[in-house]
Amino acid sequence: MNYLLKKYPLSVLKQGDVLEGKVLSMEKSRLFVDLGEFGIGAIYGAELMKAKNLVNKLKTEDKIYVKVLVVENEDQYVELSPKNAGLETAWEKAEDFMKKQTPVELRAEDANKGGLILNFNELQGFLPTSQLKSEHYPKIESGDKDKILEALKKLVGETFKVTIIDADKDQEKLIFSEKELNSEEINEKISKYKIGEEIEGEVSGTANFGIFVKIEPGIEALSHISELSWGLVENPASLFKVGQKIKAKIIQIENGKIFLSIKAMEPDPWGEMEKKYKEGDIIAGVVSKLEKYGALINVEQGGIAGLLPKTEKKLELGKNYSFNIESLEPKKQKLILKLNG
């Protein structure tokens, strides 16, 4: 973690540097951070939302590790993204283990209908049912999902020798396999698929970062949580069930893995939003979630959530309010609101 502690001369502060700072204050949708010799930094709404579990625990004077996104933005602040130092190290190790295919023994901490939950250092990962060895695979002739879950729960507490087959820090995705894959056979199957192709598949597992989709025997694809719906998704399992048939579009094929978008099968509501509204317009919305930094508002255009920065007025979950559009950036899928009146 030496890179976290390096002292850079101000003249060479650059995008991507990771620094230690102190929390100064929270104002509207920004968290201000004292960067010492580098001045004041700010973490803005979108980055706050991504790291809400970390941010909600912070108080004034707390230390925080941050990554430089913009050396000086239009507000003359260093624009930042919050970082958890322990997690940074854990992801580095996970990526190294994946590249070297280093086996590791991990305990199954929990189970769901799609597989087992395993912890690797500070990271939570997923061992899909399809990646279990035959002796551990739930052999339920009827295919009853509840019975499969019962069988998987019996494996909780056992130790599994696994390798990491996918480690993506940006998407917070960590996938394990108990099987030795025949990479030549898998690559041959995957080579049939093309980016942009629409496919049908069956949900084979759910995780906090997305869902797994079986598209043919031996081939599973992933649809990340950000590609499940145009709206805000907090729990993929609340929208998709194991065994459910879905249609999706292939958006990426990389390193023997297929990535899907389910929302790409529906019209982009941000395009309609841009046609109908502009900054300064009044729009109705429903409070869907309350956070330390503000509220998330579902607006009348289906699938779009806007951010209302923290306000003195107490809002009620599920209640309709009238808002002014303070900022609308459809290309960035960003909507900032303020209470009307």
Tens of pLDDT, residue by residue over 227-236, are: 998 887 878 8
pLDDT (tens digit per residue) in 285-310: 889 888 878 888 888 656 788 899 88
User: Which residue shows structure tokens 């025949």?
Assistant: 182
Cβ(23)–Cβ(33) below 8 Å: yes
Say which CATH superfamily domain 269-339 falls into. Answer: Nucleic acid-binding proteins (2.40.50.140)
Grouping H, G, I as helix, E, B as strand and the rest as coil, residue 236 is: helix
Calculate mean pLDDT across residues 65-78: 87
**Which amino acid, one-letter code, is at 227?**
E
- pLDDT score for 336: 93
Grouping H, G, I as helix, E, B as strand and the rest as coil, residue 258 is: strand
Calculate mean pLDDT across residues 214-231: 88
Answer whether 0.85 is exceeded by the pTM: no
How much of the chain exceeds pLDDT 90, in percent? Answer: 34
For the chain, helix, strand, coil in percent to 5 are 20, 40, 35
Enter the tokens of residue 36.
């010492």
182 has pLDDT over 80: no
Confidence grade of residue 158 (pLDDT, cut at 50, 70, 90) = very high
2 has pLDDT over 60: no
- Whole-angstrom CA distances from 14 to 19, 71, 74, 90, 189 are 11, 6, 16, 24, 43
In the predicted model, what is the mean pLDDT of the chain? 85
Confidence grade of residue 6 (pLDDT, cut at 50, 70, 90) = very low
Calculate mean pLDDT across residues 136-146: 73
DSSP string, 3-55: HHH----GGG--TT-EEEEEEEEEETTEEEEE-GGG-EEEE-HHHHHHTHHHH
pLDDT (tens digit per residue) in 315-335: 888 889 999 999 998 888 889
- pLDDT score for 180: 62
Conformation bin of residue 73: beta by default, left when phi > 0, alpha when psi is -120 to 50: beta
Distance, CA of 227 to CA of 4 (rounded, Å): 32
DSSP state, residue 115: E
Domain 88-177 identical in fold to domain 269-339: yes
Distance, CA of 179 to CA of 321 (rounded, Å): 53
Calculate mean pLDDT across residues 116-126: 92
- Whole-angstrom CA distances from 218 to 74, 257, 305, 306 are 50, 12, 37, 40
Confidence grade of residue 64 (pLDDT, cut at 50, 70, 90) = confident
Instruction: State whether CATH 2.40.50.140 applies to domain 183-265.
Output: yes
Calculate mean pLDDT across residues 111-122: 91
Distance, CA of 339 to CA of 341 (rounded, Å): 6
Q: Which CATH code fits 88-177?
A: 2.40.50.140
Domain spans in the chain, listed from the N-terminal domain onward: 17-83, 88-177, 183-265, 269-339
69 has pLDDT over 80: yes
- pLDDT score for 8: 43
Distance, CA of 183 to CA of 231 (rounded, Å): 36
Say which CATH superfamily domain 17-83 falls into. Answer: Nucleic acid-binding proteins (2.40.50.140)
53 has pLDDT over 50: yes
- pLDDT score for 160: 95
104 has pLDDT over 60: yes
- pLDDT score for 84: 65
